Amino acid sequence: MRPAVTEHRFAAELEERLLRYTAIDSQSDSGSDATPSTPAQFDMLNLLLSELTEIGAADVTLTGYGTLLATIPGTVPGPTIAFLAHVDTTEQYNATAVKPRVIRRYDGGTITFPDAPGLALSPDHNAYLGTKPGCDIVTASGTTLLGADDKAGVAIIMTMARHLISTPGLEHPTIRIAFTPDEEIGRGVHPSLPGDLKADFGYTLDGGELGRIDYDSFSGDTAEITVTGVSVHPGKARGKLVNAITLASKIVDALPQSTMTPELTELHEGFIHATEMTGSAAEMKIRLILRDFEMAGLQEKADIVRKVCDAVQATESRATITCDIRKNYRNMRYVLDADMTPVELARRAMVGLGITPFSQPLRGGTDGSRLTELGLPAPNLFTGMQEIHGPLEWISVQDMNAAAEVCVAITTGAARA
């Protein structure tokens, strides 16, 4: 008989792992061409390599592309299932010298932060927090993000792995584990990874609320715009200077501001989001991310960006404006609609544990999006992480425990299928 999630049998281990993992700096860096993009990620990867070896995992390998792989040999026949999480944290907010802390038996009120007296987290700000009285809440100290994205996923997979290996007689098929770098900068899945995993399907542990299963995600592209002006000493600039900052500002101002930005869209609505604008009067670079659930919508947004660049270029022939649009990832639904086996297996596992599964449009992408596109279907499962990429990030230890139970139930359920 499966344990009820209310037993919280994995809570202590998950908490210990999360506190230890989040204290390790491992931000990725989009400006680096290295793999992984930062040396700090090796601190996490090498630690996990040692821990997987110590618990008795097989085939523990750190690949040349910076992904850590391992196997839990099956005890019965069945599909080979992969579980994946990423070791990097986002570069969007300070993630150096994280000081994780635990609020025991949360009372339902406002959470304050010792290193940021003006910062506060409450159910008024995050309604999901209002459902967690009595739970143990993990946050950082107020000046950094926490890094539960995705070290909660790492902790959950490691806890599941330790349990499967240390429980004789537990029936499960072969399990493959992968810890990837650079997910936050869109470089987490190397083209060789699906072949190296040799799995029938997989799951990323990189999701939010209890019971959530993501299989309908954004498709994403990146637009890189370069504006090259004419640099002249400002004292002698009349009739000669072409200011790249002025032209770049016109491009940003001409993009749809009232209907197609992240702060004005929701559910299945896509957007164009300016994420970076750097340079000087001589040359400016603008980075945009384009997101939509459907390919037609994504193409529409690419066309808008190109037309805006062409229109601004037409106002100043002495400048040069280029627009390079690159593919990032595609909606995993395009593949999973044809075979929902991994989604249905996860749903059955949750129902068997008394968890109500649900799915909503995933307004982002995971390593699972890219894996699915490359032939390894990989929906995304909840961990409990909330308010990610900022100082209010938090997670419930009890949600993590439920996620670990779901992972175990998926493996045993696949053995019986």
Q: Are 220 and 328 spatial neighbours (Cβ–Cβ below 8 Å)?
A: yes
Task: Sort 120 into a burial class: Cβ within 10 Å, 0-12 / 13-18 / 19+.
Answer: middle
Q: Using the structure block, give the residue that is written with the tokens 């400048």.
A: 319
Query: Is position 399 annotated in a ligand binding site?
Result: no
334-365 per-residue burial string, b: 16 or more CB within 10 A, e: under 16: bbbeeeeebbebbbbbbeebebebebebbbeb
Is 183 designated active site?
A: yes
Helix axes 148-166, 40-55, angle to 10 degrees: 20
Pairing of strands 101-103, 137-139: antiparallel
Closest residue by Cα to residue 290 from 275, 301, 277: 301
Query: Is position 184 annotated in a ligand binding site?
Result: yes
Signed CA dihedral, 165, 171, 174, 179: sign only:
negative
Helix axes 244-254, 295-314, angle to 10 degrees: 140
Residue 279, both tokens:
């340079």
Helix then strand count (H, E) for the chain reads: 10, 16
Query: Is position 190 annotated in a ligand binding site?
Result: no
Neighbours of 50 (CB within 10 A): 11
Catalytic residue among 183, 221, 373, 405: 183
Query: Is position 337 annotated in a ligand binding site?
Result: no
C-alpha span between 366 and 189 (Å, rounded): 10
The three-state secondary structure class of 21 is helix
Catalytic residue among 29, 88, 399, 405: 88
The three-state secondary structure class of 69 is strand
C-alpha span between 48 and 60 (Å, rounded): 10
For residue 198, the surrounding DSSP H or E stretch is none
Q: Are 58 and 105 spatial neighbours (Cβ–Cβ below 8 Å)?
A: no
CA angle 106, 388, 197 (to 5 degrees): 115
Pairing of strands 58-62, 68-72: antiparallel
Query: Is position 33 annotated in a ligand binding site?
Result: no
Detail the residues annotated as belonging to a binding site for Zn(2+): 86, 149, 184, 206, 389
Give the residue numbers annotated as catalytic, written as ranges: 88, 183
Detail the residues annotated as belonging to a binding site: 86, 149, 184, 206, 389
